[in-house]
Amino acid sequence: MELPPVDISDIVDHSTKVVTQLCLMVRSALPFIRSAIAAMDPRPEALFVDLFGTETLPIAAEFNIPKYVYIPSMAWFTALTVYCPVLDQEIKGQYVDQPEPLRIPGCKPVRPEDVVDPMLDRNDQQYCEFIRQGKQIPLFDGILLNSWEALDPTTLKAFRENETLRSVVKIPVYPIGPLRRPAEPDSLRNDLIGWLDQQPNESVIFVSFGSGGTLSAEQITELAWGLELSRQRFVWVVRPPNKGRVDEAFFSVGNGSDGTPDYLPDGFLTRTRDVGFLVPMWAQQVEILNHEAIGGFLSHCGWNSTLESITSRVPMIAWPLYAEQRMNATLLVEEAGVALQPHTLPTKEVVEREEIATLVRKLIQDKEGETLRNRVKQLNMIATKALRPGGSSHKSMAEILAKISS
Closest residue by Cα to residue 70 from 173, 178, 171: 173
Encode pLDDT of 53-88 as tens digits.
Answer: 999 999 999 999 999 999 999 999 999 999 999 999
Q: How confident is the model at residue 257 (pLDDT cuts 50, 70, 90)?
A: very low
pLDDT at position 253 over 50: no
**pTM score:** 0.93
Q: What is the mean pLDDT of residues 94-108?
A: 98
State the CB neighbour count (10 A cutoff) for residue 275. 16
Q: What is the mean pLDDT of residues 48-56?
A: 97
Helix ranges restricted to H, 312-391 = 325-330, 353-365, 367-387
- Give the least confident one: 132-141, 263-272, 296-305, 325-334: 263-272
- In whole angstroms, give the CA distance from residue 46 to residue 140: 11
**For the domain 18-175, what is the CATH superfamily, name and number?**
Glycogen Phosphorylase B; (3.40.50.2000)
- In whole angstroms, give the CA distance from residue 324 to residue 301: 9
pLDDT at position 258 over 60: no
> What separation, in Å, do the N-terminal and C-terminal C-alpha atoms of the chain show?
24
- Per-residue pLDDT, 242: 78
DSSP 182: P
Q: What is the mean pLDDT of residues 203-228?
A: 95
Q: What is the mean pLDDT of residues 279-308?
A: 95
**Is CATH 3.20.20.80 the classification given to domain 185-385?**
no
| 18-175 and 185-385 share one fold | yes
- Per-residue pLDDT, 81: 99
- Per-residue pLDDT, 250: 29
Residue extents of the structural domains in the chain: 18-175, 185-385
Counting residues of the chain whose pLDDT is more than 70, the rounded percentage is 95
231 close to 364: Cβ distance less than 8 angstroms: no
Is the preceding peptide bond at 200 cis, omega within 30 degrees of 0?
A: no
Mean per-residue pLDDT of the chain? 94
Q: What is the mean pLDDT of residues 370-382?
A: 98
DSSP 255: B
pLDDT at position 177 over 70: yes
Strand segments, DSSP code E, in 66-182 are: 67-71, 143-145, 173-175
- Distance between alpha carbon 355 and the CA centroid of its chain, in Å? 24
Partners of 277 in beta bridges: 235
Distances (CA, A) of 334 to 102, 139, 338: 17, 32, 9
- Per-residue pLDDT, 36: 96
The conformational region for residue 7 under phi > 0 = left, psi -120 to 50 = alpha, else beta, is beta
Q: What is the mean pLDDT of residues 158-181?
A: 97
- Per-residue pLDDT, 254: 41
